[in-house]
């Protein structure tokens, strides 16, 4: 055997030995026994856990490093893009920490991300503020719709929450809106029946229509003081809301804004409000405390219909019109004074106000419309001003308690007042006319 061949055989022996050592090293309990060469470098390293590069995301790839537990040598390898995360029980990736199921879209300028969809199963979500070094600025239309999370914290980088972003999240209980959000678009949280608490800063300048429509558990909401309107249907069906203060600066309350808030007891409407839409407080069965803004000109149709607990309300001296059914079925309403600014009264305006006892008319009213006071059975006396020339059909139909009518004009004038059909209570009452015919 020549020398060279002998050397080769020796190397083969050493390789066999190394392989034996490597096999032994797989047994964690024998790590300390692992031999090193004279210069302290392992013949075979025993690596610890991988550490991923800064900002590593499974979707983007990157690099990972691990270190030998015996000699400290590091090894870094490239990790290719991967189509999925490895979520833990809370829904966050065990490898990169990202929220599993969050699909983000980069804008065309490549400066920011929008949440496009969420399909993960995380329960308590803290939405990240950045991705791949860029801010997440929008929560896209429908993105979280019908998800099953219980809570979400929206970061300050988000500026817009788009339409229906969180609609029908049946388990959602708590939302924290980031301090960078300026716009919450229509129906964003519509039909989240367990949503109880919403925290919102003053960065929000606009909340769209129907944003909390049907949130039947909503009882604790801090709303931005910077908004200028209460949108249509904003709190429609929020049956757990017991009180609400509309921020100063709001100028309009949309139709159905608080409709069917059946637990709402008191609402503060600031003087900045100049318009209140139809049905805005309809079916607020417990509403007993409401002060109207001092410059209000119109009460829209059905605004307070079916407010079964409303015993009294002061109408502002600027009021010109009261819409159809405005106070219909307010069965606790005891007294109403129409200021002299009121010119128009709608049909059925006070119909079925069965507890209404005292009515003071405006001296500008020229007619009493159809069914205006029908079934106001507690009404025992009224004063009809001389300005009235027509009493429409059924205006006082069913006013079974009516005994006395004081007419502000003379007997001659009363004789030309047109009283249409189905006003028997008026005919049966004792009519007293003003002696001087004024």
Nearer to Zn ion by Cβ, of 98 and 292: the residue is 98
List of residues 6+ apart from 239 with CB closer than 8 A: 216, 260, 261, 262, 263
Q: What is the DSSP string of 239-289?
A: TT--EEEPPTT--EE-TTTTTT-TT--EEE--TT--EE-TTTTTT-TT--E
Give me the least distance between CB of 90 and Zn ion, in Å please: 13
Residue 70 near Zn ion by CB under 5 A: yes
User: Tokens in use for 215?
Assistant: 């949130």
Q: What is the DSSP string of 119-171?
A: ----SEEE--SEETTEEEEEE-TTTTTT---SEEE--TT--EE-TTTTTT-TT
CA dihedral 11, 15, 20, 22 (to 10 degrees): 140
The gap between the terminal CA atoms of the chain, to the nearest Å, is 144
Give me the least distance between CB of 256 and Zn ion, in Å please: 44
Nearer to Zn ion by Cβ, of 24 and 393: the residue is 24
Give me the least distance between CB of 68 and Zn ion, in Å please: 3
Give me the least distance between CB of 55 and Zn ion, in Å please: 12
In the shown chain, the binding pattern of residues 231 to 250 toward Zn ion, with x for contact by CB under 5 A and - for none, equals --------------------
Residues in 165-194 at the binding interface with Zn ion, rule: CB under 5 A: none
265: burial class by Cβ within 10 Å (0-12, 13-18, 19+)? middle
Give me the least distance between CB of 37 and Zn ion, in Å please: 10
Give me the least distance between CB of 71 and Zn ion, in Å please: 3
Nearer to Zn ion by Cβ, of 21 and 434: the residue is 21
Nearer to Zn ion by Cβ, of 19 and 430: the residue is 19
Give me the least distance between CB of 38 and Zn ion, in Å please: 14
CA dihedral 286, 288, 294, 300 (to 10 degrees): 40
Residue 85 near Zn ion by CB under 5 A: yes
> What is the bridge-based pairing of β-strands 62-67 and 51-52?
antiparallel
Nearer to Zn ion by Cβ, of 2 and 29: the residue is 29
Give me the least distance between CB of 72 and Zn ion, in Å please: 7
User: Tokens in use for 104?
Assistant: 């983000």
Give me the least distance between CB of 70 and Zn ion, in Å please: 4
Between CA 75 and CA 96 the distance in angstroms is 19
Nearer to Zn ion by Cβ, of 56 and 396: the residue is 56
CA distance to 317, 321, 372, 382, 392, per residue, from 326 (Å): 17, 10, 10, 20, 17
Residue 104 near Zn ion by CB under 5 A: no
User: Tokens in use for 333?
Assistant: 């309403």
25 conformational bin, left if phi > 0, alpha if psi -120 to 50, beta if neither: alpha
Span from 84-92, 207-215, 299-307, 309-317 in contact with Zn ion (CB under 5 A): 84-92
User: Which listed residue (25, 91, 92, 95) binds Zn ion by CB under 5 A?
Assistant: 95
Nearer to Zn ion by Cβ, of 99 and 333: the residue is 99
Neighbours of 231 (CB within 10 A): 25
Nearer to Zn ion by Cβ, of 82 and 196: the residue is 82
User: Which listed residue (21, 24, 60, 71) binds Zn ion by CB under 5 A?
Assistant: 71
Residues in 19-58 at the binding interface with Zn ion, rule: CB under 5 A: 42, 45, 58
Nearer to Zn ion by Cβ, of 96 and 269: the residue is 96
Between CA 270 and CA 246 the distance in angstroms is 7
Nearer to Zn ion by Cβ, of 87 and 231: the residue is 87
User: Which listed residue (25, 91, 96, 324) binds Zn ion by CB under 5 A?
Assistant: 96
User: Which listed residue (21, 24, 60, 68) binds Zn ion by CB under 5 A?
Assistant: 68
Residue 326 near Zn ion by CB under 5 A: no
Residues that bind Zn ion (CB under 5 A): 42, 45, 58, 68, 70-71, 85, 93, 95-96, 98
């Amino acid at each position: 055997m020549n020398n060279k061949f002998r050397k080769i055989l020796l190397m083969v022996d050493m390789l066999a030995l190394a392989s034996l050592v490597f096999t032994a090293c797989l047994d964690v309990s024998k790590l300390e026994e692992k031999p090193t060469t004279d210069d302290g470098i392992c013949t075979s390293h025993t690596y610890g856990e991988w550490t991923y590069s800064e900002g590593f995301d499974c979707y983007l790839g990157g690099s990972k490093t691990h270190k030998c537990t015996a000699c400290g040598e590091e090894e870094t390898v490239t990790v290719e893009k991967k189509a999925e995360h490895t979520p833990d029980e809370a829904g966050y990736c065990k490898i990169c920490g990202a929220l599993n199921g969050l699909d983000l879209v980069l804008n065309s300028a490549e400066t920011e991300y929008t949440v496009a969809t969420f399909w993960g199963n995380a329960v308590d979500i803290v939405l990240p503020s950045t991705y791949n070094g860029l801010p997440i600025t929008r929560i896209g239309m429908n993105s979280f719709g019908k998800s099953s999370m219980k809570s979400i914290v929206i970061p300050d980088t988000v500026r817009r929450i788009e339409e229906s972003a969180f609609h029908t999240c049946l388990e959602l209980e708590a939302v924290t809106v980031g301090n960078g959000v300026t716009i919450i678009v229509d129906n964003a949280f519509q039909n989240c029946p367990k949503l109880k608490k919403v925290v919102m800063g003053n960065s929000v300048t606009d909340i769209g229509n129907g944003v909390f429509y049907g949130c039947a558990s909503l009882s604790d909401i801090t709303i931005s003081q910077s908004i200028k309107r209460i949108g249509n249907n904003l709190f429609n069906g929020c049956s757990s809301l017991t009180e609400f203060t509309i921020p100063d600066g709001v100028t309009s309350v949309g139709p159905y804004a608080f409709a069917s808030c059946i637990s709402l007891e008191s609402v503060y409407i600031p003087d900045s409000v100049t318009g209140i839409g139809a049905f805005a407080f309809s079916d607020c069965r417990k509403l007993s405390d409401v002060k109207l803004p001092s410059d209000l000109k119109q009460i829209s149709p059905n605004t307070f219909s079916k407010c079964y607990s409303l015993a009294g309300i002061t109408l502002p001296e600027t009021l010109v019109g009261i819409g159809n059914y405005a106070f219909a079925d307010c069965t606790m309403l005891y007294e109403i004074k129409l200021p002299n600014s009121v010119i128009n009264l709608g049909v059925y305006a006070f119909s079925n106000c069965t507890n209404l006892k005292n009515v003071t008319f405006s001296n500008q009213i020229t007619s009493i419309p159809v069914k205006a006071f029908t079934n106001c059975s507690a009404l025992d006396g009224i004063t009809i001003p001389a300005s009235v020339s027509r009493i429409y059909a059924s205006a006082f139909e069913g006013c079974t308690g009516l005994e006395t009518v004081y007419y502000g004009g003379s007997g001659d004038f009363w004789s030309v007042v047109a009283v249409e059909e189905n006003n028997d209570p008026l005919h049966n009452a004792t009519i007293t006319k003003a002696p001087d015919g004024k």
